[in-house]
């Protein structure tokens, strides 16, 4: 590498790191909460733009991204483990049984709607089965699943009891997205003839499950009765690196294996401190992924915008449909509008799914670029709709209270 | 505790070994190999640290032994490719270690003892260099590759080898002080001497290798002296910039300072690898600037960086252990052990003379010797230069030098820890650390 190139990479990385740390500052978090914004549409957005800028400047080259691959895998493992800790069966047991179909509906319908609409659009754009249609449809389906619990304070002011439901739905959404990601990793597994293990797909499925559970047990044993916090952090880092390294080495989905490990971990021990530690680092990792996904983003391709609009509309329609059915079958829930809006914003986990399924493997084909555009555009459109609704609600609430 | 640690090591070894069987031996798996090696080394090193705690041994020795046992030369679980991928972690670790050392060195506080520290550093180095020069000069009459050399050529060989082996180890000293939470005059003086002396060693190596290049003009390699100015001053400049950025961040933002410090040092290491900057000098300059020039002070950031320091130390020393060329060491063991013994003798003699000159206590001077015995980062980096720059004699002499470093690497930390315990500084540190909820305070 030339000295000028090095200087460019260093300045770029320094700017990205500084922004990532600043973006995780409590003041930024307070600001986002105040305006009811998700990471993707607020503090995360500059990272997408930064990614484009650095691609144009020749900073985020393939060589740099390859050098950073261990860091990416570690980040995916960390996020996966964090999402896995959402699968706390004790918490699910405490939920009223009648809410189970509501949660399932709220997760499944948007996925199905987005999958069908986006697959048809992709087919219309010339992507045919056997050339990535099914795969890209599934990726968009997984991205459509995840929602961020934004606007809760305002939208559910009148239905506080539903807060827990919305939170559970968003957690289940993330798990569902990882489930699809795991399926993608197994079904579209790269052909590595050089490897010594040759298993059928069902074998890799069992391998994913087994490895995730086993690593969960290993991390549990590592973290059990650790005397001090520094050692706990070191062992947690070691456990995540080992799990992500093993999954990556075996070409399994890193996030999925680590999520399984996280699920085991949270169910065998009460890990409030662990979850706090995991969440503490979560945000800068999202920024890092946004930065790299930004480098693969091509906003100049109209197909991506078409797909983005279809993605946002179909996903939104799915959420609305799910909210209407849920309100209809469960009378204690809020009316469908606020419920749908509270589930609409797109979670930054979508970026993790995109990154894991596309950018990490170095896939830069046109449908993948459109899918990236679709998720970003979809996120922004959804955010605009939610903000509009939020302002209206604010106004109405003000009128009601006479303020 | 020991049984549990051994069981964990066995389980992680079995898992990693099984994963390694996925691809044929020697095949490359980009990225994941490094993550796997990082996780494996970190977990196993922490278990080794627990065993060492029980056995009252330094954790660093445990980290090094773990790396040695599972590295490419012995068990082979960590392959050479994985080690190469971990080079960046190593560079960051050196930078972090130097940064922590710089943050502990308050020059105003040390001023009354600067004469004692300077004299001791100079005389211990001189003592070691004289004896090492003698043994390597004698060895040129025994090694087939140097048998036909002229006197001036023998002098050049001995000078370069003695210079490399005279290096100390700020990394080990900082690591031991950090893990034992030791405080007191021995801790402070040892740290000051090793940092000061290694700065001198880096400069004198450039001079001695320039002399050697002059004696062996046909050998490849540019004049080290011509590289000296950009190398040293560039590193110091980069360190001052990094220190300024850290000070600005700490004063304006403040949150997540530890992660930010680590990130800055990581970027410095990435850039340094390409621009041939010395991460030791970069980190040291940043730490010294923070502690001695800015209003922030080094303690705040060094404490914040503690959460990342422990895993970094574990990985760094495990990688150092894994890089040990065990087979080569076995071939040169007698010479290497002899050189290590003479180095220790030279340091001890230098410390004795310095003690008389500046009025230090004889027992203190003896204990100080043990703080100067360990070797790691700088010495290994200089050996790498020796191996690469001087063919055909460089690899032969370099292997002996490396063997000697291995001896100092394994024995040095144990002796230094014992010296700190004998001086009562570990207990003092533990008491203070207990009050500060485990936070280490070197000074």
The answer to whether the Cβ–Cβ distance between B270 and A231 falls below 8 Å is no
A36: closest CA of chain B, how far (Å): 23
Asked if B379 and B161 count as a contact pair (C-beta separation under 8 A), the reply is: no
User: How sure is the predictor about B442, in pLDDT bands with cuts at 50, 70 and 90?
Assistant: very low
> Residue B31: closest CA among chain A residues belongs to which residue?
A70
- Which range is least confidently modeled, A50-64, B120-134, B313-327, B330-344? A50-64
Task: Count CA atoms closer than 13 A to B33's CA, side-chain side.
Answer: 23
Q: CB-CB: which of B32, B311, B438 is closest to A245?
A: B32
Is residue A29 within 8 angstroms of chain B, CB to CB? no
The better pLDDT of the pair A249, A360 is held by: A249
The residues pairing with A147 across neighbouring beta strands, listed in sequence order, are A346
Among A98, A69, A73, A103, smallest CA distance to A86 is for A103
Query: Nearest CA to B187 among B128, B254, B104, B262?
Result: B104
The dihedrals phi and psi of A346, each to the nearest 5 degrees, come to -85, 135
State how far the alpha carbon of A305 is from the alpha carbons of A40, A112, A121, A378, B179, in Å: 17, 20, 11, 9, 56
Question: Do B31 and A17 count as a contact with CB atoms less than 8 A apart?
Answer: no
3-state SS of B351-365 is HHHHHHHHCCCHHHH
Residues of A in contact with B40 (CB under 8 A): 238, 242, 245
* Contact yes or no for B29 and A214 at CB 8 A: no
Q: Which among A69, A245, A253, A281 is the top mutation candidate for probing chain B, defined by the most B β-carbons within 10 Å of its own β-carbon?
A: A245
pLDDT over threshold 50, residue B431 = no
Residue with tokens 């609704």: A389
Mean pLDDT over B168-186 rounds to 82
- pLDDT at residue A124 above 60? yes
- State the Cα angle at B94 between B91 and B95, rounded to 5°: 85
Percent of chain A with pLDDT over 70: 78
Dihedral of alpha carbons A321, A327, A328, A330, sign? positive
The answer to whether A281 and A49 have CB atoms below 8 angstroms apart is no
Average pLDDT over residues B96-106: 81
Q: How confident is the model at residue A156 (pLDDT cuts 50, 70, 90)?
A: low
Is A233's CB within 8 Å of B46's CB?
no
User: Are A166 and A149 spatial neighbours (Cβ–Cβ below 8 Å)?
Assistant: yes
Cα–Cα distance for residue pair A369/B423, rounded to 1 Å: 65
Q: What CA–CA distance (Å, rounded) separates A400 from A240?
A: 51
- d(Cα B237, Cα A186) in Å, to the nearest integer? 50
B305: closest chain A residue by CA: A230
Q: Position of tokens 């002070």?
A: B297
> A23, A14, A1, A350: which is closest to B264 by C-alpha?
A14
Least confident of A305-314, B28-37, B326-335, B345-354: B28-37
At A147 the three-state DSSP class reads: strand
- Which of the two residues, B263 and B369, has the higher pLDDT score? B369
Cβ burial, residue B419 (10 Å; 0-12/13-18/19+): buried
pLDDT of residue B344: 92
- Complete DSSP assignment for B233-257: HHHHHHHHHHHHHHHHHHHHT-TTH
The whole-number pLDDT of residue B434 equals 39
pLDDT over 60 at B364, yes or no:
yes
For residue A164, what pLDDT is reported? 73
Q: What is the DSSP string of A46-72?
A: HHHHHHHHHHHTT-S-HHHHHHTHHHH
**CB distance B38–A250 less than 8 Å?**
no
Are B259 and A228 a contacting pair at CB < 8 A? no
Q: What number of other Cβ atoms are within 10 A of residue B247's Cβ? A: 21
The most distant pair of C-alpha atoms in chain A lies apart, rounded to whole Å, by 73
Q: Contact at 8 Å (CB) between B199 and B184?
A: no
Share of chain B residues as helix, strand and coil, in percent rounded to the nearest 5: 80, 0, 20
Which residues, including other chains, have CB under 8 Å from residue A41's CB and lie 6 or more apart?
A345, A379, A380, A383
- B243 CB-contact burial (10 Å; exposed 0-12 / middle 13-18 / buried 19+): buried
Max mean pLDDT range (A26-30, A194-198, A236-240): A236-240
First to last CA, chain B: 32
- What DSSP string describes A92-114? HHHS-GGGHHHHHHHHHHHHHHH
Q: Give yes or no for a cis peptide into B5 (omega within 30° of 0).
A: no
Say if the Cβ atoms of A17 and B46 lie within 8 Å: no
How do residues A340-351 score in pLDDT, each as one tens digit? 777 788 877 888
The pLDDT value given to residue A214: 93
DSSP B345-408: HHHHHHHHHHHHHHT--HHHHHHHHHHH----HHHHHHHHHHHHHSTTHHHHHHHHHHHHHHHH
Retrieve residue B347's tokens.
Answer: 């340091």
Q: How far apart (Å, rounded) are the C-alpha atoms in residues A79 and B106?
A: 41
Per residue in A315-335, pLDDT (tens digit) is 889 888 888 888 787 777 777
Q: Which of A10, A67, A235 sits opposite B271 (nearest CB)?
A: A10
């Amino acid at each position: 590498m030339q000295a000028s190139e090095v200087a460019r990479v260093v300045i770029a990385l320094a700017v990205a790191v500084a922004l990532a740390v600043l973006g995780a500052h409590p003041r930024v978090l307070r600001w986002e909460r105040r305006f009811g914004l998700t990471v993707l549409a607020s503090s995360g957005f500059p990272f997408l733009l930064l990614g484009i800028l650095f691609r144009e400047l020749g900073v985020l080259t393939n060589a740099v991204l390859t050098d950073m691959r261990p860091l990416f895998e570690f980040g995916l493992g960390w996020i996966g483990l964090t999402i896995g800790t959402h699968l706390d069966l004790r918490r699910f047991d405490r939920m009223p049984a009648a809410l189970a179909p509501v949660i399932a509906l709220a997760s499944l319908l948007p996925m199905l709607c987005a999958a069908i609409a986006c697959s048809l659009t992709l087919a219309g754009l010339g992507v045919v089965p056997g050339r990535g249609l099914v795969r890209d449809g599934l990726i968009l389906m997984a991205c459509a699943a995840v929602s961020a619990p934004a606007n809760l304070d305002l939208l559910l002011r009148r239905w506080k009891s539903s807060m827990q439901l919305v939170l559970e739905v968003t957690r289940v959404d993330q798990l569902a997205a990882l489930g699809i990601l795991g399926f993608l990793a197994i079904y579209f597994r790269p052909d590595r003839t050089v490897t010594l293990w040759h298993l059928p797909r069902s074998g890799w499925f069992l391998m994913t499950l087994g490895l995730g559970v086993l690593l969960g047990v290993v991390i549990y044993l590592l973290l059990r009765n650790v005397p001090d916090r520094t050692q706990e952090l070191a062992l947690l880092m070691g456990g995540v690196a080992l799990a992500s390294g093993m999954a990556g080495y075996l070409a399994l989905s890193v996030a999925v294996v680590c999520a399984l490990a996280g699920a085991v971990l949270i169910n065998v021990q009460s890990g409030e401190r662990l979850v706090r530690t995991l969440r503490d680092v979560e945000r800068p990792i999202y920024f890092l992924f946004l930065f790299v996904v930004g480098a693969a983003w091509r906003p100049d391709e109209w197909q991506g915008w078409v797909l983005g609009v279809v993605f946002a509309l179909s996903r939104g329609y799915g959420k609305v449909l799910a909210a209407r059915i849920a309100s209809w079958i469960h009378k204690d829930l809020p009316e469908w509008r606020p419920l749908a809006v509270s589930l609409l914003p797109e979670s930054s986990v979508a970026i993790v799914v995109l990154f894991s399924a596309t950018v990490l493997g170095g896939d830069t084909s046109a449908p993948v670029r459109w899918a990236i555009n679709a998720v970003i555009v979809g996120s922004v459109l959804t955010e605009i709709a939610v903000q509009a609704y939020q302002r209206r609600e604010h106004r109405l609430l003000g009128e009601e209270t006479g303020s | 505790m020991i049984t549990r640690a051994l069981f964990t090591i066995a389980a992680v070894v079995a898992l990693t070994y099984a994963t390694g069987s996925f691809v044929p031996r020697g095949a490359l798996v980009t990225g994941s190999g490094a993550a796997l090696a990082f996780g494996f080394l970190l977990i196993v090193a922490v278990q080794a640290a627990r065993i060492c705690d029980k056995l009252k041994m330094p954790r660093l020795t445990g980290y090094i032994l773990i790396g040695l046992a599972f590295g490419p030369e012995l068990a082979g679980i960590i392959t050479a490719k994985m080690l190469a991928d971990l080079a960046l972690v190593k560079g960051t670790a050196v930078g972090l270690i130097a940064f922590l050392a710089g943050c502990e060195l308050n020059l105003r506080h040390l001023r009354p003892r600067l004469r004692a520290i300077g004299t001791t550093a100079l005389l211990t180095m001189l003592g070691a260099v004289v004896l090492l020069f003698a043994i390597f000069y004698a060895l040129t009459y025994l090694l087939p590759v140097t048998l036909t050399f002229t006197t001036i050529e023998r002098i050049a060989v001995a000078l370069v080898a003695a210079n490399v082996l005279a290096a100390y180890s700020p990394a080990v000293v900082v690591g031991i002080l950090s893990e034992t939470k030791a405080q007191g005059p021995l801790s402070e003086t040892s740290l000051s001497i090793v940092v000061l002396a290694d700065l001198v060693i880096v400069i004198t190596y450039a001079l001695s290798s320039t002399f050697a290049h002059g004696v062996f003009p046909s050998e490849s390699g540019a004049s080290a002296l011509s590289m000296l100015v950009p190398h040293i001053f560039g590193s110091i400049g980069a360190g001052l910039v990094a220190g300024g950025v850290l000070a600005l961040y700490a004063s304006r933002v403040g949150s997540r300072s530890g992660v930010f410090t680590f990130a800055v040092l990581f970027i410095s290491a990435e850039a340094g690898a390409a621009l041939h900057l010395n991460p030791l000098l970069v980190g040291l300059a940043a730490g010294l600037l923070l502690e001695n020039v800015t209003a922030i002070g080094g303690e705040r950031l060094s404490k914040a960086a503690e959460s990342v320091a422990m895993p970094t130390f574990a990985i760094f020393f495990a990688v150092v252990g894994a890089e040990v060329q065990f087979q080569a060491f076995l071939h040169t063991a007698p010479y290497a052990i002899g050189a290590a013994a003479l180095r220790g003798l030279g340091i001890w003699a230098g410390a004795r003379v310095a003690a008389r000159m500046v009025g230090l206590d004889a027992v203190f001077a003896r204990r100080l010797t043990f703080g100067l015995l360990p070797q790691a980062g700088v010495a290994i980096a200089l050996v790498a230069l020796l191996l690469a720059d001087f063919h055909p004699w460089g690899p032969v002499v370099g292997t002996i030098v490396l063997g000697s470093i291995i001896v100092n690497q394994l024995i040095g930390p144990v002796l230094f820890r014992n010296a700190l315990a004998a001086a009562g500084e570990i207990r003092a540190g533990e008491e203070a650390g207990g009050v500060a909820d485990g936070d280490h305070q070197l000074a």
